[in-house]
Amino acid sequence: MDRALIFLIVFSFSFSSLLGQTPTKEQLLKRKASQIVKYDSGTAQANQYFLRMDFSGSKILNPREHEAHLGKKIERIELYYTNFQISDSFQQSGLNGKRLDELEKLIPGVYKQTGISWHFIGQKGAKTPEEAATYFHGFVITYRDVPFMERSTEILMMDSVSKALEVIKDTVEGIECRNITKTRKKWTGSYLPKSGKKLEKGIRYKRRGLWNRKREYMTLAKTTTICDTSWGVSGSLSGFTYVSDTTVMQVLERKMKDWKKAVIVTDVTGSMYPYIVQLQVWMRLNFHLTDCRHFVFFNDGDKKYDGSKRVGKVGGIYSGKASSYSAMEVLCKRAMAGGYGGDGQENDIEAMLEAQKKFRECNEIVLIADNYAPVRDMALLKDLKIPVHVILCGTASGYVNVEYLEIAYKTGGSVHTIEEDIENMTKLSEGSVIEIMGQLYKINKGKFVAVKGT
């Protein structure tokens, strides 16, 4: 009899988005860019390569790097640049346009390829031309090693998952739990006095001051309980494999017991397929144990042309109260079949407003979100009146989309990654600093900005 650790089971295919419309260069240049302090090219994944450029140049310095990866299916293209400007008359969009032209010369027809997720990332840490020159400039290309599949095929694969889970769901053989404790230092936001007497009295300062005071740190210990559930399986689970990013399953296992009256809102655009399957697996095995019965799935417009999408009226939202797991699965598949995204932005808040309006008996929202997708409708955030708990999918590189931090903060919710739970955000205020994925973020004028640790 085969055995499987069900909390780590994920289907062996990893898929990205199938774009309804291929973007033009002009459309790409109008997109909203994400902002970080500095990109660390040392965090590159095995399925990525770099096309490097100079700080102020557009020529690709290492074109042979792409030649070494010919035949790979491109999944994501990220353009990194620095925000620092030598001249006030300089226009970043002009230089980025030239860089896109050079990319098309190297990869003819790149703008006609479907399935590519495009992202622009500005680096704001550089303060001088010399410092900016040390930053990475150019394209990070992420490719897919597994066969590319259509959305219809993804749904068929989900059917296979469901059938396999039907075999094992009621055959628990045993549960083994273990505690893993991790400690880390966290800055309290205060600085320590130089005087020992003041230190004993508990005096702290908000600024480093002329005396170059040291930061005060607290040691945090976090204990995570991981339970490996053994299931007796009479069928085969050869379609499953273990993967490192089990964010959705891990967070639901840790936190779903605390979210008793929540509606789950899930991005089902193409890039989210691995996480949709995780939701499917967890709900199939826990539906009878949880009170959660309300679901909203959104696909950013039901294949609507990108140029016709208007904030608050994008559509592609499927909602319902499920009396059974099967009902939830049918609703999810309807949303997936209806559309698969388009441009990089998603209508997260429009979907959450639908949840808030339709399910008044629910007092909080669990948002399963694509960390790399800019939120199309942040202007509507003020209309959300209940807490949003954001499960961030795709944080392995360390990058965190600050828009999701802002959503959680302004609604009194929380943010969750595969290992971290950033809670009690209602206690934060202007100037507060939090740490997530090893990066510090400060609230500045109501928004989160990445800051350097000192």
pLDDT tens-place string over residues 254-298: 999 999 899 999 999 877 888 998 898 899 888 887 888 999 999
- 268 and 372 in a common domain: yes
Identify the band that residue 313 occupies on the pLDDT scale cut at 50, 70 and 90: very high
pLDDT in tens, 69-123: 876 768 789 999 999 988 878 889 999 999 999 999 998 878 876 557 889 999 9
Residue 18 lies in a domain: no
The pLDDT of residue 414 is above 90: yes
- 246 and 187 in a common domain: no
The predicted pLDDT at position 1 comes to: 33
The predicted pLDDT at position 413 comes to: 97
The pLDDT of residue 49 is above 90: yes
- 419 and 281 in a common domain: yes
Q: Which of 128, 144, 160 is the last residue of a domain?
A: 144
- 259 and 120 in a common domain: no
Question: CA of 155: how far to CAs of 3, 161, 178, 266, 336, in Å?
Answer: 26, 10, 35, 16, 8
The predicted pLDDT at position 4 comes to: 36
Question: CA of 383: how far to CAs of 163, 246, 263, 300, 361, in Å?
Answer: 40, 32, 17, 19, 17
- 305 and 440 in a common domain: yes
Cα 190 to Cα 289: distance, rounded to the nearest angstrom: 44
Give the residue, 143 or 55, on which the prediction is more confident.
55
Residue 228 lies in a domain: no
Give the 3-state secondary structure of 49-77: EEEECCCCCCCCCCCHHHHCCCCCEEEEE
Cα 334 to Cα 318: distance, rounded to the nearest angstrom: 8
pLDDT in tens, 383-405: 999 999 999 998 877 778 899 99
- 158 and 86 in a common domain: no
Segment 36-54 mean pLDDT:
88
The pLDDT of residue 21 is above 50: no
The pLDDT of residue 369 is above 50: yes
Identify the band that residue 27 occupies on the pLDDT scale cut at 50, 70 and 90: confident
The predicted pLDDT at position 16 comes to: 33
- 206 and 333 in a common domain: no
Residue 215 lies in a domain: yes
- 405 and 340 in a common domain: yes
The predicted pLDDT at position 98 comes to: 96
Q: Are 336 and 299 in contact (CB under 8 A)?
A: yes
Give the residue, 187 or 116, on which the prediction is more confident.
187
| Contact partners, residue 101, CB within 8 Å, separation at least 6 | 25, 58
Residue 4 lies in a domain: no
The predicted pLDDT at position 147 comes to: 43
Q: Which residue has the tokens 């150019």?
A: 138
Q: How is 110-125 classified by DSSP, letter by letter? A: GGG-TTPEEEEEEE--
Report yes or no on whether pTM surpasses 0.75: no
Of 17-31, 229-243, 356-370, which has the strongest mean pLDDT? 356-370
Cα 162 to Cα 400: distance, rounded to the nearest angstrom: 32
- 185 and 271 in a common domain: no
The pLDDT of residue 8 is above 50: no
What's the distance, CA 338 to chain centroid?
22
Identify the band that residue 174 occupies on the pLDDT scale cut at 50, 70 and 90: very low
- What's the CATH code of the domain at 68? 3.30.1330
Count the helices and strands in the chain (H runs, E runs). Answer: 11, 19
**83 DSSP assignment:** -
Residue 437 lies in a domain: yes
The predicted pLDDT at position 12 comes to: 36
Segment 398-422 mean pLDDT:
93
- 214 and 72 in a common domain: no
- What's the CATH code of the domain at 441? 3.40.50
pLDDT > 90 in the chain, percent = 44
Residue 278 lies in a domain: yes
What's the whole-number average pLDDT of the chain? 82
Domain that holds residue 335: 151-169+241-451
The pLDDT of residue 230 is above 60: no
Identify the band that residue 334 occupies on the pLDDT scale cut at 50, 70 and 90: very high
Cα 389 to Cα 203: distance, rounded to the nearest angstrom: 35
Alpha carbon dihedral 166, 265, 272, 121, in 10-degree steps, equals: -160
- 156 and 140 in a common domain: no
The predicted pLDDT at position 244 comes to: 54
Segment 16-22 mean pLDDT:
39
The pLDDT of residue 17 is above 90: no
- 162 and 135 in a common domain: no
Residue 321 lies in a domain: yes
Residue 231 lies in a domain: no
Report the half-sphere exposure of 314 (CA within 13 A, side-chain side). Answer: 33
Domain count, the chain: 3
The predicted pLDDT at position 241 comes to: 42
